[in-house]
Amino acid sequence: MEAYKEEFIHFMIDCGVLRFGSFVTKSGRKTPFFVNTGSYQTGPQLRRLGGYYARAIHDAFGLDFDVLFGPAYKGIPLSVAATMAIGEDYGKEIRYCSNRKEEKDHGDKGILLGSKIADGDRVVIIEDVTTAGTSIRETLPLIRAQGDVETLGLVVSVDRMERGTGTKSALTEIGETYGLKTTAIVTMQEVVECLWNKEYNGRVIIDDEIKAAIDDYYKLYGAE
């Protein structure tokens, strides 16, 4: 595993973003692990997060694109943090764009925040975690309604590696359905590899009991 991936996993633990226990996802699945990017709370945390996203975007897509789009609400700070990191780390100016939940009819009118999207723009979408692919199905039509736009792909922080609407993973389904390249900073397989029966800051994060719960979860919801 690349060093930055292990650093990112430990970073999520430190920030309380990656937790283990008993949770229910937005799609209604009972899960032994939960990823909540809303738990990043400080400027330095967001700067580090943006750097990890920037690395994943650079490695998967290069930097030959124009706009990084973050769907409301959690995608808004993600798009800002990642475009700032891309500028600082790689010297590339990428525009950020997000959407409002409701269209504004006065002042800065419209549905979009940040940069507008125009004909010819190449767009990468940034999200926190995709479980069932619901958000992307809402986001893509909005982006494509802005003009003759090329949507290159989707980057998330953690690939949960579980089924979407069929037997394949949500990320794989999204890629095949919409013709997008998809990537993640880390996968849950890498998370388990990094943490299972290994001490971090004086404790074992994933012990045999939690590992068994994760295995049972994937027997029910794991992708092919």
Report the distance separating Cα 103 and Cα 133, nearest Å. 23
Scored b (16 or more CB within 10 A) or e, 26-35 reads eeebebbbbb
Is 5 annotated in the active site?
no
Residues 6+ apart with CB under 8 A from 35: 12, 17, 18, 128, 129, 157, 158, 160
Report the distance separating Cα 188 and Cα 194, nearest Å. 10
Catalytically annotated residue among 101, 106, 109, 219: 106
Report the distance separating Cα 169 and Cα 163, nearest Å. 4
Is 58 annotated in the active site?
no
Q: How far is CA 111 from CA 26, 68, 95, 118, in A?
A: 24, 16, 16, 14
Contact yes or no for 97/116 (Cβ under 8 A): yes
Cis peptide preceding 53, ω within 30 of 0:
no
| Beta pairing class for 203-204 and 18-24 | unpaired
Catalytically annotated residue among 26, 30, 104, 116: 104
* Active site residues per annotation: 104, 106
